[in-house]
Amino acid sequence: MIISALAKDIHPATDVEVYFCRSLGFSLTLIALIVLFFTGSIPLSSSISEPVSLEDNDPKAPYAVPILRITTMFHGLSTIYCYMRYMNFGQTGYMLGAIGYGAIGSLGLWCVIFGTSGGRISKRTGADKRMTGFPFKNIMAYDKKKDRKMG
C-alpha cells in the first residue's frame, strides 16, 4: 500500500501486497492486545484479594493465561485466513502457512485446555490422580494394593 501511495500511476494491489497488509494488521492487533494486558489496563480478575506476584520465577504470572488465549485465537484466525486465501487462489504458500498456523494454534489450544488446570493432587500421597498410564506405564507411581501391604 505504501508503494501505491508513492507511485505516480495507480495500480491495483497484488495478491502478495494484500496478504502482507492483512497479516500485518492481524499481528499489530495481537501486539496491541498483549500490550494492554502487560500494562495492566485490563484487569485480569475481579478480586483484589490475591496479591500480584512480581517474582521472575513465578510460573503463574497473572498475564500468562490471557496472553496464551489471545495468541491461540490469533493463530486460529490466521489459519482460517490462509486457508480461505488458498481456496480462492490455489497457491501452495497459503496452504503451508495454514498448516504452520494450525499447528501452533493446536499447540496453544492444547495448552489452554490441559495446561491451565491445577490437577487433582492426592492429599495423602501427593500424587496426581489424573494419570492414566497411556502410552507408558508409571511403575513407580502410587499403587493402592502395594502401599496397603507396606503400611
Domain hosting 34: range is 13-43+60-119
Number of domains in the chain: 1
Q: What is the pTM of this model?
A: 0.60
- Whether residue 8 lies inside any domain: the answer is no
- Whether residue 73 lies inside any domain: the answer is yes
pLDDT score of 19 more than 60: yes
Query: Quick one: 37 exposed, middle or buried, by C-beta within 10 A (0-12, 13-18, 19+)?
Result: middle
- Whether residue 146 lies inside any domain: the answer is no
Chain segment 100-147, per-residue pLDDT in tens: 999 999 998 988 887 776 666 777 766 666 666 666 666 666 566 665
Determine which helix (DSSP H) or strand (DSSP E) holds 27, and give its type and residue range: helix 15-39
- Whether residue 34 lies inside any domain: the answer is yes
